Amino acid sequence: MTKKNMSYSEAIATIDGILQQIETGELDVDVLAEKVKHASELLKLCKSKLFSTEKEIEKILKEMEDDEK
């Protein structure tokens, strides 16, 4: 699954898995930078999804407010 198609929950689970591998020392030093880069990209994806969701909720609430007037 490409990162753009990954859901927020899947991205968080992947980040959590990477963090667990780092904390337990499971990661070989040769792949550590690659995993950290991947986690960074997933964090950007999550941030983007949260921002989009926030904007959509604000839009819905504004529409509801306008309908009540």
Residue 54: its pLDDT value, please?
Answer: 97
CA 13-47-61 angle, 5° bins: 110
What is the identity of the amino acid at 30? D
Helix (H, G, I), strand (E, B) or coil at 23: helix
Average pLDDT, the chain: 92
Where do the structural domains in the chain lie, given as residue ranges?
Answer: 3-68
Q: How does residue 2 score in pLDDT terms, banded at 50, 70 and 90?
A: low
Q: With 70 as the cut, is the pLDDT of residue 24 above it? A: yes
Q: With 70 as the cut, is the pLDDT of residue 52 above it? A: yes
Residue 15: its pLDDT value, please?
Answer: 97
> In angstroms, rounded to a whole number, what is the distance separating the alpha carbons of residues 42 and 15?
7
The percentage of the chain sitting over the pLDDT mark of 70, rounded to a whole number, equals 93
Cβ atoms of residues 53 and 7 within 8 Å:
no
CA 48-15-10 angle, 5° bins: 65
* Across 14-18, average pLDDT: 96
